Structure 1
Amino acid sequence: MSYVVTEACIRCKFMECVEVCPVQAFRAGQNFVVIDPSVCVNCAICELVCPAGAIRAKETLAGKDRDYIDINIQFAKTWPVITQQGKVPDDAETWLTVTDKREFLLPTPDPEAQ
């Protein structure tokens, strides 16, 4: 079982998950993070600390959330590893309650990822 970052992270990108990951499985895009399933050790700590509730076990995903399995795999190949919590978007709290955010997902890597 691996973990997947889902739609709720888009434009929120709080990144508490990055700080607790013991294996540096997170990759950073401009307004979203993904988990590299080949690195994830299924510890589930990231799921517990995500304020957006965006991280879930792959096996629990249903419907459109299942699309994020492939999205995580795809972007994990090209986005940089992130090991430190970066700057949270100023409007992140506003986006917490927005649904259907897929159209706002930017496919570009985060140039400030550390």
Structure 2
Amino acid sequence: MTYVVTDNCIKCKFMDCVEVCPVDCFYEGENMLVIHPDECIDCGVCVPECPAEAIYPDTDPSATPAWLSLNHQYASAWPNITRKKDPPADADAWNGVPGKFDAHFSDSPGDGE
């Protein structure tokens, strides 16, 4: 099992999860984070830390195969992030907005650590 970041992270990118991850398996895109499924140790400490409730175990229906694939693909392309940064200024306004992937997902990398 692994954990998967899903669409509610898009444009929220709170990064509280990064701070508690014991194995630094988060990777940063321009407007969301992903978890590298081969590095995640399935501890789950990131789940309650996510204000956007965007992280699910891969056994949860919200963690579809498409999200698992996206996490794997971009964790291999984006830089690793190991410390919390400030979220976007409008993160709270985007929290819970449906359908963010099609309109707002960016495949551009973030700055990383």
Q: TM-score range by the shorter chain?
A: over 0.9
Which residue pairs with 1:88 in the alignment?
87
In structure 1, the residue matched to 2:39 is 39
Q: Which runs of 4+ in 1 moved over 4 A?
A: none
Alpha-carbon distance between aligned partners in 2 of 1:76 and 1:60, rounded to the nearest angstrom:
20
Q: Higher helix proportion, which one? A: 1
Q: Deviations over 1:2-56 (max 9, x none)?
A: 0000001000000000000000000000100000011000000001110000000
Q: Helix, strand or coil: the match of 1:45? A: coil
Answer yes or no: is 1:74 the counterpart of 2:73.
Answer: yes
User: Matches of 1:69 and 1:96 in 2, distance apart?
Assistant: 21
The gaps in structure 1 that reach 5 residues or longer are none
CA RMSD of aligned residues (A): 0.9
What is the percent sequence identity of the aligned residues? Answer: 41
Tell me the SS of whatever aligns to 2:46.
helix
Q: Structure 2 CA distance, aligned partners of 1:5 and 1:46?
A: 10
Q: TM-score, normalised by structure 2?
A: 0.94
| CA-CA distance at 1:61 after TM superposition | 2.4
For residue 68 of structure 2, what is the amino acid of its counterpart? I
